[in-house]
Amino acid sequence: MRIPTKFLLTRNSRWVAESLGKRLEDAVEDITDVKIEKKEYTLPEGEILGFVFPVYAWAPPTIVMDFISLLRLSSAPKYVFFVCTCGDDSGKTADVFCKALKEKGWECNAGFSVIMPNTYVSLPGFNVDPLHIVSKKLREAKERIEYISSKLAARARLIDCYEGAFPWIKSYLIHPLFMHTLMSPKPFKAADSCISCGLCEKACPVRNIHLKERGKPEWGSHCTMCLACYHSCPKHAIEYSCLTQKKGQYLFDKSNKGL
């Protein structure tokens, strides 16, 4: 059975994955649509295995790490890469990801980061970028993808991620604290301005949202804190406690003048 060669999550990383797939003439599939069963998968001869995902609190998302843990291949892939998207920096995401592959007996041959518009708004001091910053980041991201595509086509072996300041502290101290205390979906709620359109339910990559009898969204217990629901709401009616009040929204738009 052929296994997809790209895995992705949110709209920023989806655009990056699709852009790479187009340039490399490779298949792209969503990690949340791939069902890992108790069997081995076989990669066609010469096929590369790549992962495209967003950085959550300076580390790969749990859903990506769980996927890698469950994935079984008939033989070690000959070339594995990852591309992570981040609002500013990636911390030690590369180290965390490469270690997970090593535990499977695989080698991570290449890794890259792509800076994209900020989407995290659930803590004080965090908000979406101003429009001029969004346009600038998207223009630079397009150039970055061209560079990454050329390296992947050449099967380059390098890790090229922007770690930022204090990466070890961010990924190995702050990230565990974040995962332990700030991953609860309980603070999510819909304001009275909710029109019960169901877009939040459709946007959730892990199908954690369902509309109640009165048409209001209700969050389950396996949230990834991707905030797709918050950013997808046409009425800006979704709130995370009081922490998102007066915060902005962002959805990737191919028509953005930055592209």
Element containing residue 217 per DSSP (H, E): strand 217-219
Of 181 and 90, the structure prediction assigns the larger pLDDT to 90
What tens digit of pLDDT does each residue of 188-217 get?
Answer: 999 999 999 999 999 998 899 999 877 899
The mean pLDDT value for 73-82 works out to: 90
The mean pLDDT value for 41-52 works out to: 83
Burial code (b: 16+ CB inside 10 Å, e: under 16) for 181-215 equals eeeebeebebeeebeebebbbebbbeebbebeeee
Range scoring the smallest mean pLDDT among 18-27, 30-39, 250-259: 250-259
> Which residue type sits at 139?
R
Range scoring the smallest mean pLDDT among 1-5, 39-43, 92-96: 1-5
pTM confidence score: 0.90
Range scoring the smallest mean pLDDT among 61-65, 224-228, 248-252: 248-252
Say if residue 125 is exposed, middle or buried (CB neighbours under 10 Å; 0-12, 13-18, 19+).
exposed
What tens digit of pLDDT does each residue of 149-168 get?
Answer: 999 999 999 999 999 999 99
Q: Which residue has the tokens 């629901």?
A: 229
On the question of pLDDT at 246 being above 50, the answer is yes
Average pLDDT for the chain: 88
The mean pLDDT value for 41-50 works out to: 80
Query: What was the pLDDT predicted at 9?
Result: 45
Query: What was the pLDDT predicted at 192?
Result: 92
Query: What was the pLDDT predicted at 256?
Result: 54
3-state secondary structure of 104: coil
DSSP of 118-173: ----SSTT--PPPHHHHHHHHHHHHHHHHHHHHHHHTT--EEE----SSHHHIIII
Query: What was the pLDDT predicted at 254?
Result: 59
For residues 13 and 114, what is the distance between their CA atoms, to the nearest angstrom?
9
Query: What was the pLDDT predicted at 26?
Result: 84
